[in-house]
Structure 1
Amino acid sequence: MNKTNISKLFPWLISAGVAWTIGCIYNVYYGGELSWLRRMYEQKAAYAAQIEAPNRLIITAGSGVHYSVNAEWMEKKLGIPVFNYGLQGDMGLNVIKPLILEQARKGDIIVLIPEYLMLMDKDGLGDGDGLYGSAPFGWAVGQPGLGGIPPKKLIEDTWLLGVTTLRAATKSTIDVIEKGRMTGYLSDPITEHGDPTKVKERTGKWWELKLNNSVSPHSIKVIEQFRKDLEAKGAHLIVALPWIYGSTDQTTKDSIQKSADKLSQVVPTLYNHQTLNIQTDSSIFADTHYHLLPPARIVRSQELIDQLKPYLAEYIKQPELQTKK
């Protein structure tokens, strides 16, 4: 290719670079779904850091935590600080782990409630096929490669930062016209306990979630190391199985039971041994098989309190927690 042909490419390269940069600003800093996830994470990190008590109960994983517990209500019941650190499941365990380790202090009790897709993930890097994935999120928070993402995948996924879909751009345009600002799924305000302030309800038909696999060896390895790393800081890890609107077919029940048994070998694992945390009433769920409506969040939070009390009594050395109502 001669110099003349190369010079003709410059305008196209410049145009492509400008378009990518605009898309990146939209996706990462304001307007795109990744921008709202980044902002929510930064807000939660700041709120959690402000808690100065010697013992904090931090509940974490994806949106199945964010929209399924009421941390403020739990705090009032337990008398210790409780924080909702639910983020987004597509980020994967490899990313959740270092984010929480960075936050953890001596005396903390970390309750991990991962969605089943997160538990069954073979490499811990989450979905990775969209802007909620581990690679784009790492770039968004200024930690490229967060979670040990392989360099090749990191390079391949980086282009997503500057890619804006027509659907997303159209939605943002309509938001600006109708509301005067851009909004997104995670753009709603959160409380100082990390709880959501808006309720999202499903408009489509429900179906029972079915599971065909149990927790992956990689997830077991990550969770076991997570426990060891937290204990080295003087903190503790507990895993709880999520509530789901799910099928009670034998394959699903066997998959959940296998996950519970494998997890119990490496970390304290909380779940209802009769129901396996499978809920059969879709009316208590919000917009996904993991997200609960506010009244159900209270029921779920009370169940967690009851299951956690023996561990809190041991870790915090307050036996009265076993009987506190």
Structure 2
Amino acid sequence: MKRSHLWTWALVVTGLWSVGFIYNVYLSGYASWLRTMYVVKSRLVEEIDEPQIIVAGGSGVQYTINSDVMAESLGMPVVNFGLNGGIGLDLLLTTMLEKVRPGDIMLVIPEYSFLLNDEGTDTLSPTFGIVIGRPGLGGIPIKEVLETTVTLGIPSVRPLIKTTQDIVTEGRLDYYGDPLTSRGDATIELPRNSAWWKMPIRSSISQHSINSLRQFKKDIEARGGTLVFSLPVVYGSDDQDTIANIQKTADALSEIAPTLYDKETLNIYDNSDLFADTHYHLKISERTVRSEQLVRELQMALPQFSVASHDVEGK
């Protein structure tokens, strides 16, 4: 009887965990949002059968560009592949490399959380690998993968509340995220609920990031693609340490591949009114301005776009 009870409890626990895992990864919550973003944007890239520009990074890409503006000005399809800074640089590069086909341009705009990290992984790295069906991606230790897998079978309170609201207000389950355009851009503007402060950048790009990006460039070119970097826009501090660290980062990136940024401002913005909820997320109206900046910089950096300079003249 005791052994029978143990098996019963084991089946109950396994069943509850399975329900929780399915809920977290496929129905609602942050893990579901991350998986859905990756799956949807991968599909957008795969559906394009001609050379394209893939703009990769974290949410600092997701909420800062207007891909339609860029595509129209450059005469080339553009896909917004912004995900989340918490997945870490190594996992971002690994998954982005798989998307590149001959003639593609990979424009990487990494938040400083990507670049300053000296390990290449971050808080969401294990979760990201699991939800896209590749546990351990990026060399995550098996113990950490197992611990994260167990955690994903335990729904947290916040997603449960949101799911209840979705069912009551919309009559359906929805993932925790926002609708995307046909090019992968965000369609909403998230509000900020706390006071603003200018973000300092305490260090420059790590040697690990430099090594990873150097190898990424070689791998991109081996697949027939072109790699370009851009500094992210940020509501940042103007203290000398921040300026020096960003300049060192820009110089290091420029030694690897063309790097786009305003040489005077280093893409540091001093007006918080331009930003939505975080130091990297722009308001919808400003995403067009930022995209026009990227267009001009790409036209100056890459010869294939130089003939289109009149398209953005005067903007």
For residue 83 of structure 2, what is the aligned residue in structure 1? Answer: 87
Q: For 1:299 and 1:244, locate their aligned partners in 2 and report how far apart those are by CA, in whole Å.
A: 14
For residue 165 of structure 2, what is the aligned residue in structure 1? Answer: 174
For residue 204 of structure 1, what is the aligned residue in structure 2? Answer: 194
Is there any run of 5+ residues in structure 1 with no aligned partner, and where?
A: 128-132
For residue 320 of structure 1, what is the aligned residue in structure 2? Answer: 307
How far residue 57 of structure 1 moved from its aligned partner, in angstroms, is 1.3
How far residue 291 of structure 1 moved from its aligned partner, in angstroms, is 0.6
Q: For 2:243 and 2:94, locate their aligned partners in 1 and report how far apart those are by CA, in whole Å.
A: 31
Residue 119 of structure 2 aligns to which amino acid in structure 1?
D
For residue 20 of structure 2, what is the aligned residue in structure 1? Answer: 23
Please, which of 234, 244, 256 is the counterpart of residue 246 of structure 2? 256
1:58 aligns with 2:49: no
How far residue 319 of structure 1 moved from its aligned partner, in angstroms, is 4.0
For residue 130 of structure 1, what is the aligned residue in structure 2? Answer: none
TM-score normalised by length of structure 2: 0.93
* Matched positions, count: 312
Q: For 2:203 and 2:151, locate their aligned partners in 1 and report how far apart those are by CA, in whole Å.
A: 30
Q: For 2:18 and 2:139, locate their aligned partners in 1 and report how far apart those are by CA, in whole Å.
A: 25
How far residue 35 of structure 1 moved from its aligned partner, in angstroms, is 1.2
Task: Map 1:142-291 to 2 at 5 A.
Answer: 142-186=133-177, 188-291=178-281
Q: Decide which moves more: 35-44 or 274-283.
A: 35-44
How far residue 184 of structure 1 moved from its aligned partner, in angstroms, is 4.8
1:104 aligns with 2:121: no
The question of whether the paired residues in 1 share the 8 Å contact of 2:210 and 2:253 is answered with: yes
Identity over the aligned pairs, expressed in percent?
43
Q: For 1:60 and 1:113, locate their aligned partners in 2 and report how far apart those are by CA, in whole Å.
A: 6
The question of whether the paired residues in 2 share the 8 Å contact of 1:136 and 1:160 is answered with: no
For residue 116 of structure 1, what is the aligned residue in structure 2? Answer: 112
Q: CA RMSD in A?
A: 1.8
- CA displacement 1:269-305 (0-9 Å, x = unmatched): 2111211111111111111111111111111111111
Please, which of 30, 35, 46 is the counterpart of residue 38 of structure 1? 35
Residue 245 of structure 1 aligns to which amino acid in structure 2?
Y
How far residue 172 of structure 1 moved from its aligned partner, in angstroms, is 1.9
The question of whether the paired residues in 1 share the 8 Å contact of 2:188 and 2:284 is answered with: no
Is there any run of 5+ residues in structure 2 with no aligned partner, and where?
A: none
TM-score normalised by length of structure 1: 0.90
